[in-house]
Amino acid sequence: MLDLAVEYQDYILRGVVYTIAITLISLSMGFTISLVLTAARFLGFKPLRLAAEAYINFFRGTPLLVQILMVFFGLPSIGINLSAFHSAVIAIGLNSGAYQAEILRVAIKGIPEEQMLVARSLGLSEIEIMKGVVIPQAVRNAIPGLTNEAVILLKESSLASVIGVMELTRVGEYMVSATFRALEAYLLIALIYLSLSMIAFRLLKRAEKSLAIPGFE
Ligand code: ARG
């Protein structure tokens, strides 16, 4: 297996870069979308709320693989031509937006309602309550879910291989087609994903700790 790693190191390195790029870009795109969806959900204007719910149901209720295929093969028929990489990032980002909106919803729901009542009775304005009470706690509550989402996206980015993006999984397929050493090649690729996941877990554990309330682990 080591000789495979050495021989294909350039491909592997490029695969790692693509995998990380897809993960980070779609994670941030998803986060931005989730903020918009969350605002639409909580602003109290029904049509907006229904549109946000429809978006979330669509992206959570259909396979990510089909969404990627729709963007890459479907959009050209209405005149939008995207590269495989851009299609993958957009589809995964749109998908993640729906999941991250759910993470934020649960994070906000987790804040005890009495706190708002107390804050209001202390005379804080709605904006002060948002800034001082809701957002800091919602962020803290959302961190474990968002950590999880980062690792999910790292693994789901492998779906980009079906449209030919040269990320890690596609590099594995390429190595297999060139050497027929499938077990070793895919095991090598799996171990690289595992190392990346472990790094992500570590980084995010640290973030979780720095946001933790002293005394509550
Ligand atoms: N394989 C799952 C699907 O096809 C992936 C869902 C993506 N999940 C996520 N948390 N962004 O639906």
pLDDT digits (tens, 9 = 90+) for 1-28: 889 999 999 999 999 999 999 999 999 9
Identify the pLDDT of residue 213. Answer: 66
- With beta carbons less than 8 A apart as the criterion, state whether 179 and 158 touch: no
Using the mean position of ligand 1's atoms as its centre, give its distance from the Cα of residue 66 in Å.
Answer: 11
Using the mean position of ligand 1's atoms as its centre, give its distance from the Cα of residue 93 in Å.
Answer: 11
Interface pTM, i.e. ipTM: 0.95
CA dihedral for 7, 89, 71, 57, sign (positive or negative): positive
Return the amino acid letter for 171: V
Instruction: Name the residue of 95, 103, 106 whose CB sits within 8 Å of the most ligand 1 atoms, as the mutation to test its pocket.
Output: 95
Give the tens place of pLDDT for each residue, 84-94: 999 999 999 99
Q: Is the CB of 157 within 6 Å of ligand 1?
A: no
- With beta carbons less than 8 A apart as the criterion, state whether 135 and 74 touch: no
